[in-house]
Amino acid sequence: MSVFELLKDKVQASHKNYRIVFPEGTDKRVIVAASRLAQEKIIEPILLGDPQKIMAIAQAADSDLHGVTVIDNATYTHSDEMAAAFIAARGSRGKNLTQQEVATQLQDPNYFGTMLVKMGQADGMVSGAAHSTADTVRPALQLIHAAEGMHRVSGSFIMERGKEKYVFADSAINIDPDSGTLAEIAYQSVQTARLIDIDPKVAFLSFSTKGSAKGEMVDKMQEATALFHQQHPEITADGELQFDAAYVPEVAATKAPNSPLKGQANIFIFPELQSGNLAYKITQRLGNFTAIGPILQGLAAPVNDLSRGASSQDIYHMAILTAAQALLGDEQK
């Protein structure tokens, strides 16, 4: 069963009707995906934008919008309530905002959609088909913030090839994380792995295995591993390890004979963003893996980013994943 088949089954079996908001409601790809999601009764899509324009595009695309909620953020009737919630969400920075500044920001569909999530009127958000990653992520960081116990947000990819499934992180957000951040990224990645029923085995990667090389970069991964063991002793993890010592049992038996991973890691934590980003793309292109993501991890409510080249199928899949994140969050409350 593929990742998305598994997640779709989980969401449908929950019977919870998760509401996912799409700020780019006038994009044909988004409309087609939302229509399909509603007709299959997977989630309750919310499209933002001019209702007449959305309806015209849907009709031209032969997409049924029954079961899809359309909100015109330009004429929203609860703007005062949302403005107050926006100011509260911004904390100390919100106190200095004028009413006009707040109104201007809420005209941005990404800010408006994020506020629907913040106010509990949506369970998650998917954007990025026509916006940059920064445009999608910035409102989430400013308004939703990190989940309880978390201090930052990270980005992972699920790498899938047949029955093989792995999580790579951080491959999207944190440029040069310190050891504490790496330990937190690892914990967030464990939650992503649990979405797809992976029994987590975490490897903190390096160019060194168990002190075979020296330097600050090696020290950082050693410290991250030690912190993770202290914070989450129940989760199998090891480091610092070269990739082959983390992934190949025969190599692990020679390079790291005492490693609890025994060369069977399935969550790979990279020393910095450059390595993580390169690794997932090499694995995708040379290894013929499907790269699912970036998946935003560590937020108090799920928000996910699309590629601007995303197809309606990609949007459909990311909405299912976002609903599955909301489901996991509910199960952990």
Q: How many domains is the chain built from?
A: 2
Helix (H) or strand (E) holding 290: strand 290-297
Same domain, 141 and 42: yes
| Token pair recorded at residue 252 | 């692990």
* Residue 14 Cα to chain centre, angstroms: 20
CATH classification of the domain holding 9: 3.40.50.10950
Same domain, 7 and 137: yes
Question: Are the beta carbons of 146 and 152 closer than 8 angstroms?
Answer: yes
pLDDT at position 237 is 98
Sheet containing strand 164-169, edge to edge, reads 236-241, 201-205, 267-269, 164-169, 154-161, 290-297
Largest Cα span, the chain = 66
The position carrying tokens 């107050």 is 84
pLDDT at position 101 is 84
Same domain, 180 and 227: yes
Q: Look at residue 309 and tell me if it is in a domain.
A: yes
Residues 6+ apart with CB under 8 A from 26: 47, 49, 50, 53, 54, 57
Same domain, 140 and 251: no
Q: Look at residue 318 and tell me if it is in a domain.
A: yes
Same domain, 175 and 272: yes
**Residue ranges of the alpha helices (H) in the chain?**
3-14, 28-39, 51-60, 79-89, 99-106, 109-118, 133-139, 179-195, 216-231, 243-247, 249-255, 273-286, 312-331
Same domain, 81 and 159: no
Q: Look at residue 24 and tell me if it is in a domain.
A: yes
Residues 6+ apart with CB under 8 A from 151: 181, 184
Same domain, 41 and 119: yes
Q: Look at residue 293 and tell me if it is in a domain.
A: no
Distances (CA, A) of 1 to 7, 196, 243, 299, 320: 10, 10, 27, 28, 15
pLDDT at position 293 is 85
- Grouping H, G, I as helix, E, B as strand and the rest as coil, residue 47 is strand
Residues 6+ apart with CB under 8 A from 70: 25, 46, 47, 48, 49, 51, 54, 55
Q: Look at residue 35 and tell me if it is in a domain.
A: yes
CATH classification of the domain holding 183: 3.40.50.10750
pLDDT at position 200 is 97
Name beta bridge partners: 299.
146
Radius of gyration of the chain (CA): 21
| pLDDT in 10s for each residue of the chain, 333 residues | 799 999 999 999 998 999 999 999 999 999 999 999 999 999 999 999 999 999 999 999 999 999 999 999 888 877 788 888 889 888 877 677 788 888 888 899 999 999 999 999 999 999 988 887 888 888 998 999 888 889 999 999 999 999 999 999 999 889 999 999 999 999 999 999 999 999 999 999 999 999 899 999 999 999 999 999 999 999 999 989 999 999 999 999 999 999 999 999 999 999 999 999 999 999 999 999 999 988 999 999 999 988 778 899 999 999 999 999 999 888 887
Q: Look at residue 295 and tell me if it is in a domain.
A: no
pLDDT at position 265 is 98
pLDDT at position 93 is 73
Containing domain of residue 164, as a range?
154-286
Same domain, 174 and 75: no
Same domain, 256 and 320: no
pLDDT at position 174 is 92
Same domain, 277 and 230: yes
**Stated pTM of the model:** 0.89
Amino acid type, 147 = A
Name beta bridge partners: 164.
161
Same domain, 107 and 84: yes
Q: Look at residue 294 and tell me if it is in a domain.
A: no
Same domain, 8 and 135: yes
Q: Look at residue 34 and tell me if it is in a domain.
A: yes
